[in-house]
Amino acid sequence: MDLIKNGFTISTEKEKLDIDLIHSFLNRTYWAEGISKEIIRRSIEGSLCFGLFENDKQVGFARMITDKATFAYLADVFIIEEYRGRGLSKWLMEVIMSHPDLQGLRRMILVTKDAHGLYKQFGFTPLINVDRWMQILDPDVYKR
């Protein structure tokens, strides 16, 4: 699937993704610092991915980890720095949220440190009943 708007394209075709760019960006983030290129590749294989491009240059990325029936987890959303402030993250989210494989799900979740305003526009809210949620968290896993 490819969608075009104002000279930019969003594609779900994984073969178009620039793994080097995705790795370079994610490796510098607070949530994936130290991540290897191999883990990036594996995460892409198991996800519904959205690449944002200007011509052939990738400028953004997001992925949904989903069973396409009941649940989805939004992860690794980014727009490279020089392309921010153009409404691209909002358009990327519009495309993700309208994707046919993500309709009718019971739950979508994400974790963010600083982009609450963007995600609220698309219906995301803070967790309720947080005492029911559990996790195994190893924040240094990519550094070993």
Rounded to 5°, the CA angle 53-71-87 comes to 30
Sheet-wide strand order for 2-5: 2-5, 8-11, 48-54, 57-66, 71-79, 107-110
pLDDT tens figures, 82-122: 999 999 999 999 999 999 999 999 999 999 999 999 999 99
Q: Decide if pLDDT at 143 tops 90.
A: no
Residue 37 C-alpha from the chain's centroid: 16
pLDDT on residue 139? 86
- Band (pLDDT 50/70/90 cuts) for residue 53 is very high
- Band (pLDDT 50/70/90 cuts) for residue 60 is very high
**pTM of the prediction?**
0.93
Across residues 41-52, what is the average pLDDT? 97
In a 3-state reduction of DSSP, which class is residue 104? coil
Determine whether domain 2-143 maps to CATH 3.50.30.50.
no
Strand pairing report for 107-110 and 71-79: parallel
